[in-house]
Structure 1
C-alpha cells in the first residue's frame, strides 16, 4: 500500500504482483496519476475495480459490495489432472524463496490441489505467464538509478495489512487512520 499527496489530493495505491488498485478523492488526480504511470510503465487501464486478489467488487450508485472469492472448491468447470497441477505448484513453491511477489498467489492456489478444475488451472497459467513476463525485472536496477528508495518498514507500519490480514478492531482502526480512511457510520441491517 502506497500513498501520495495529502488531504483531498491523496491517492492510495495498492499493488499485488501485476495488479494495481488506484483510489482517491479527486478523479482528476487519479487520471493524472494513471497517465504518469502509463508514461513510465507498460500498463492497461481496466476501468473501475471489479476483481482483485480473489475478491469480486461490485460498484453501483448505492455503494460498493465485496463478494466471496471467485476461485472456490465449488467450481462448476471440468476437473483437470491433479498430478500435473501438483507438480507445477510444487515447483512454484520452491520459486517463492526468490520470488516473494508470487507467494500469496501460489499459497492460495495450493488450496485447490486435491480436486483442481480448469478454472484453477487457468489461474496457475496466469501466475506462470506473470513469471515469464517479469524474468528480466531487476528491482535493484531501479534502486541503483535512484528511481526507488529502499527503507526499513517496521511491522507496526505495514499498511498493506489492512487488505491482506484478518485484524482485530483496534489494529484495523489504527491502520485505517494511518491511510486516511474515513469511518462510515451507516449501520447495515440484515434481512431475516
Structure 2
C-alpha cells in the first residue's frame, strides 16, 4: 500500500501546485498582453460602464434585440437552460419568444425569424447576433426612431465584424455597440 500511496500523494501535490499556481499565473500573464489586460472591452457612456463581451437586455422597439439569455444576462451565473430541443417547456418558451418577436416586427414572416433571436446561447451571455438577425429588425428600429432604413443599414454594416482572419467563425454584430451607435444618430 505504501508503494502506491506516497507516489499518489506526490502526484496530487505536484498537480495541485501546477494547476492552481503555475498554470494560473501563465494564463494571467498572457491575458495582460491582451487589450484591456484581459478584462474585456469596456465602454463608458453617461457615466455608466458596459462590457461588450457580455450580452445585455434590450427590449425597447427603438433598439436591436439581443439574443435571449437563460440566466437573465447575469454574468455571475453563466449557463444555458440545459433543456433538450424536444422538451415541451423549452418549445413553449421558444414559441413565446417567436410570438413576441412577430408582434414587435409585423413585417417579418415566422420562417424568416433567425434562430438566434429566439434561442439562448450555451452561456446565456452571447453579446453578438448575425448580420441577418440585425437586418431582420431594421424596419422596426427605423420606423420607431423615424430614421431612414438606409442609415440604419449603414450602421449595421459599420458594426459588423468580419470572421477572424477572414476564415474563422461567422460575421457578427455586437448588439451593445450597435445600439450605442444608434443612440448617436439624430
User: Which TM-score applies when normalising by structure 1?
Assistant: 0.26
Whose strand proportion is higher, 1 or 2? Answer: 1
Whose helix proportion is higher, 1 or 2? Answer: 2
Considering Cα pairs closer than 8 Å and 6+ residues apart, tell me whether 1 or 2 has the greater RCO: 2
